[in-house]
A and B are shown apart, each in its own frame.
Chain A
């Protein structure tokens, strides 16, 4: 993988599958362990779902920008939509007893569970989600000098 790769994707369900497949391929190429690849691909899928459904609301003129950056320590994934921006204070805790049986609202929680760092920056011109997975030891991230 180049140091950074970026994709501009339509606001469709295909984009969700496409983003997940790209994440799986890139994380695998970088040497992450199988369970980490799964976590990364799932976090990206959830981020893409939020961008397509809640951010861009399937609008054909709005795009999803998906970028992967490899640094010596991390895989940094950025997902940006062109929606109105989410209100983070309105996102309920899916683990609260009163929310356990809700049928939605677990996407950001899953991203936070699977990635080392999750930064969400809403603005009036869209929301940017940054997902970071640290490279762990010889079995993860194709770290140089691995045994």
Chain B
């Protein structure tokens, strides 16, 4: 299953609903382009909803890191929402789980922005 992204606004926060695979190639490129476009348009409060992401490889992990640092460098904030067990475990073993702001409740994620 290829990557699909859908963006929506909730109380000034952009939620990006992601589904499928974030892997080298199309999935990673879509993620990068979407975050870049959001930031270019001034949307600097971003939540990546990964609840339907069933597979991620090292390139996908790199893309999440890139999205996080790019947003932060532009004065924004990016959170991750609804990690599947596979993604959760990957972020744990790569020691990135504590780097990201990870939420399991959308309302709490939206309220958590400064």
Contacts and interface: CB of A to CB of B under 8 A. Distances in A.
Interface string B39-66: 0000000000000000001110111011
Interface stretch (A25-33, A73-81, A104-112, A134-142): A104-112
Interface stretch (A42-50, A58-66, A125-133): A42-50
A46 B58 contact: yes
Interface string B51-91: 00000011101110110110000000000000000100010
A101 B69 contact: yes
B95 A103 contact: no
Contacts of B63: 103
Contact of B99 (A13, A45, A46, A101): A101
B69 A49 contact: no
B24 A16 contact: yes
Nearest to B95: A95
Contact of A49 (B24, B61, B66): B24
Chain B interface size band reads 20 to 34
B65 A102 contact: yes
A104 B24 contact: no
Nearest to B26: A13
Contacts of B107: none
A142 to B, nearest CB: 24
A107 B56 CA distance: 12
Interface string A82-112: 0000000000001100001111101101100
A107 B57 CA distance: 8
A106 B94 CA distance: 8
A100 B90 CA distance: 13
B94 A103 contact: no
A46 B96 CA distance: 18
Contact of B58 (A13, A95, A100, A107): A107
Q: What are the 10 closest A-B residue pairs judged by CB atoms, nearest first?
A: A103-B62, A106-B58, A103-B66, A107-B58, A13-B25, A104-B62, A95-B95, A103-B65, A113-B93, A45-B57
Interface of A: 13, 16, 38, 42, 45-46, 49, 53, 94-95, 100-104, 106-107, 109-110, 113
23 contacts: A13-B24, A16-B24, A38-B86, A45-B57, A46-B57, A49-B57, A49-B58, A95-B95, A100-B95, A100-B96, A101-B65, A101-B68, A101-B69, A101-B99, A102-B65, A103-B63, A103-B65, A104-B59, A106-B61, A107-B58, A109-B94, A110-B58, A110-B94
